[in-house]
Amino acid sequence: MAVPGVRRFPSPDGRIPNFVGAEAAAQRLAATRVWAGARTIKSNPDSPQLPVRVRALADGKLLYMAVPRLADPEPFFALDPARLADPPRKAASIKGASRSAQRVTLEQMEPVDLVVTGCVAVGEDGARLGKGGGFSDLEFALAVAAGLVDTRTRVVTTVHDVQLLPAGTIPIVAHDVHLDLIVTPSRVIECPRPRGHRLPRLRWSELTDAKIAAIPLLAALRAHG
C-alpha cells in the first residue's frame, strides 16, 4: 500500500489505508443493487471510505458514523442529508461531522440496512483483516445486540485491488464480520455467506477491563448487567 500510485495521504502505517481510486470504488458501489436498496448506512470514519460517505449523503441516505474508538457516551454521529450544515464532502469527514451531525446512542439509532467497513486486506471469500484494534467487530456486535443489525443487513467494503487476496488466505474466527460485497476501482466481488454463518456477538470474556473502561458504552452495559 506504500507504493506510489497506490498510496494516498495519510501514510498507511497503523491505519485503514487510503488508496488511489477510492472515488471510483465508491461510484462502482453506488451502482449496485445492494446500495440502491439501502436507506440507512453505518460507515467507518476512515479516509478511504470518505467518498462512500459523501455519496450516501448525496443520495439522500441516513448515515451513521462511529466516533473514533467509540470514546464517547454517545458513540455515533447521525448525519441526516436534509439537515447538513456543510456540503456532503465536508459533512462526511470527522471534522465536518462535528458541525453537521447529531451525537446519538445506540438506542436513538434506526435499523441499519448497509454496513460499510474499512479493511487492511480482504479475501475473495469475504474474510476481512482490520488494523488490529477490534473496534469494527465490536461496533458490529454492539449493533447486533441492540437489534440494529440482523441477517438482512449487508456488509460491504471498498479497497484497492492490491488489498484483495485469494480465498482462504485470511484466517477466520467466530467473532469476525463476513463481507457480503467487496468493491475495488475495477470490480465488484460478491461473497456468499458460509453455511452456518452467524452474526458476531459480544464476547465479554475477550474484552479486557482496560478496554471496557475506555469505552463508555461497554462500561455502562456491564454496569447494568
Going from N- to C-terminal start, the domains of the chain cover 22-191+199-204
Pairing of strands 62-66, 76-79: antiparallel
- pLDDT of 102 over the 90 cut: yes
- pLDDT of 150 over the 90 cut: yes
196: left (phi over 0), alpha (psi -120 to 50) or beta: left
Residue 211: predicted pLDDT: 84
Residue 112: predicted pLDDT: 98
Q: How far apart are the first and last CA of the chain?
A: 43
CATH superfamily of 22-191+199-204: NagB/RpiA/CoA transferase-like (3.40.50.10420)
Q: Say if pTM beats, i.e. exceeds, 0.85.
A: yes
Which residue is listed with cell 473502561?
213
Residue 68: predicted pLDDT: 75
Cα maximum dimension of the chain: 50
**What is the radius of gyration, based on Cα positions, of the chain?**
17
d(CA 38, CA 169): 30
Residue 206: predicted pLDDT: 82
Summarised one tens digit per residue, pLDDT across range 51-100 is 999 999 999 999 999 887 777 888 899 999 999 999 999 999 988 998 89
d(CA 105, CA 189): 33
CA-nearest of 188, 162, 159, 213 to 18 is: 159
d(CA 174, CA 183): 24
Across the beta sheet with 188-190, what order do the strands follow? 102-104, 76-79, 62-66, 40-43, 114-116, 154-158, 181-183, 188-190
